[in-house]
Chain A
Amino acid sequence: MTVKIMADSLGDIPADVVKDLDITIIPIHVLFGTTSYKDGVDLTTEQFYEKLVNSKTLPTSAVPSLGTFIEYYERVAEKADEIIVCTISHKLSGTFETASRAAEMVKKKCRIKVIDTLQVIMGEGLITIEAARAAKAGESFENIVKLIEHNMKRVEPRMAFDTLEYLKRGGRIGAAQAFLGSVLKINPVLCMKDGEIYPFARERSRAKAIESLYNFTSGFNKVDALAVEDATTPGEADALANRLKEKFPGVPLYRSKVSAVIGVHVGPSVIAVTVLGDRKQ
């Protein structure tokens, strides 16, 4: 029985890892006005941020059609007996709904399970990577599902912002709106809670916000994997990644870019760290 892993493009998994672990990524769309781009396919992340800064109209994101999902499922089903699909939190996007409905329509041909990771960016990414690794090692469908559910409790992203303006405009801000309206200039750091964006810390400078991402990793006993992401500030993210590599020698660290679709909602200055591991008691 061959199990294949699929995910939407919002997990920010680096292209080489996608290829290596044979993960199928369904691109979410970015709309500039009426022109639609497939995330990471028609538009690289770099091109996107260039457009975001220069475009007069603000982009929006859109879940691909039911038909697109079905097409993808059918294509993967040709080489697989069972499919597990990891999606971004349903509280941030309609991807899970569409992916689930599409799965209903093709399940006769192939067993498909769609899992809402309740995560975003590399939170979703690390869960998917670990699942794909298990699939490649020949683990059973049930065991992979269990692993995903286990890892969902062990993954934590932290995102440092310069502004929450983009999040607010996109209506994805959730409880993090507690950080809005500050009279003082603050650099908010956000996390995920129950599938929603949630306030974590308020720092007075970007440097401190990035430091807070670094310090956050100290709260873990055992770290299985790390991810560092940026949108348009690779230098900063590289420096942070190097420090984390020193702090956690031997732990795989994925260095990737926040996808264009997420970029629509977080803006060009975001920088994020995700940990998969066990918290100190």
Chain B
Amino acid sequence: MALGAVQLFSLISRHNQWLAARQATLAGNIANANTPGYKALDVEDFNQTLDTLGLSMATTQPAHMTSGATQAPVAVRPEDTWDVTHSGNSVSLEQELLKAGEVNRAYRLNTSIAKAFNRMMLAATKG
């Protein structure tokens, strides 16, 4: 019984971690919206990262870099975007802001669930 709740908390924190990494990736895209040749990035789906979260990519050579702000728990991949400009930049501001809104909504949902569960557990312990 208690285990279920604890697992839910860890799931929420992992999902929020993923959302924060996604937000950082989107921020990088938007900041580089006018950089010639910049390709828009997005993180791997949460379903795919859920199992591997906590593991990091192997650095077999000293020149290998960790994958940016996400520090490897969340992999980053080039994203199919709505349009590519003449300069080779594939960032679409509308698309990125739409995704940022999505992140915001999911984050709010997660924190609300965590709050509600915390309240329930406190209600149970206080009696």
Partners in one complex: no
By a beta-carbon cutoff of 8 Å, the part of chain A in contact with chain B is: none
By a beta-carbon cutoff of 8 Å, the part of chain B in contact with chain A is: none
